[in-house]
Amino acid sequence: MFTADGPNWRCEAAAAPQIAAPQPAKGKKDTSKVYTKEEVAKHKTRDSRIWVTHQGKVYDVSDWADLHPGGAQRLMLAAGGPLEPFWAMYQQHNQPAVRNILQQFQIGELEGGAAASQPVEDPYKGEPERHPILIVRTQKPFNAETPKDILAEHLITPNEFFFVRNHLPVPHVDASSYSLRIEGEGLRALHLSLEDLKTKFKKHSIIATLQCSGNRRDDMAQVKPIKGLDWDVGAIGTAVWGGVRLRDVLRAAGMDDEAANSEVQHIQFEGLDQDESSTHYGASIPIEKAVDPFGDVLLAYEMNGSPLPADHGYPVRVVVPGVTGARSVKWLARVVASKEESSSHWQQKDYKSFSPNVDWDNVDWSSAPALQETNVQSAITEPKPGAKVGAGMDLPVKGYAFSGGGRPIIRVDVSADGGKTWTTAELQRAEQQQRHRAWGWTLWNAEVPVPADQKGPVQLMAKATDSSYNSQPDTAGPIWNLRGVVNNAWHRVDVDAE
**Residues designated as active site:** 68, 93, 165, 212, 351
Q: 390-416: buried (b, 16+ CB within 10 Å) or exposed (e) per residue? A: ebeeebebbbbbbbbbbbbbbbbbbbb
User: Positive or negative CA dihedral for 324, 328, 334, 338?
Assistant: positive
Say how far apart CA 2 and CA 70 lie, in whole Å.
9
Q: Which residues on neighbouring strands pair with residue 135, listed in sequence order?
A: 145
β 377-382/394-402 pair status: antiparallel
Look at residue 10 and give its three-state secondary structure: helix
Backbone conformation region of residue 126, classed left if phi is above 0, alpha if psi is from -120 to 50, else beta: left
Instruction: Tell me if 297 sits within 8 A of 285, measured CB to CB.
Output: yes
Going by their DSSP bridges, the two strands 190-192 and 180-184 should be labelled as antiparallel
Residue type, 431: E
Distance CA 287, CA 265 (A): 5
Distance CA 144, CA 463 (A): 25
Total Cβ atoms within 10 A of residue 91:
17
Between the CA of residue 11 and those of 79, 141, 142, 396, what are the distances in Å?
Answer: 20, 7, 9, 38
Q: Where are the alpha helices (DSSP H) in 338-493?
A: 345-348
For residues 455 and 332, the answer to whether their CB atoms sit within 8 Å is no
Give the number of other CB atoms < 10 A from CB of residue 156: 16
Gap between the Cα atoms of 477 and 356, Å rounded = 8
Distance CA 446, CA 493 (A): 15
Asked if the bond preceding 141 is cis, omega within 30° of 0, the reply is: yes
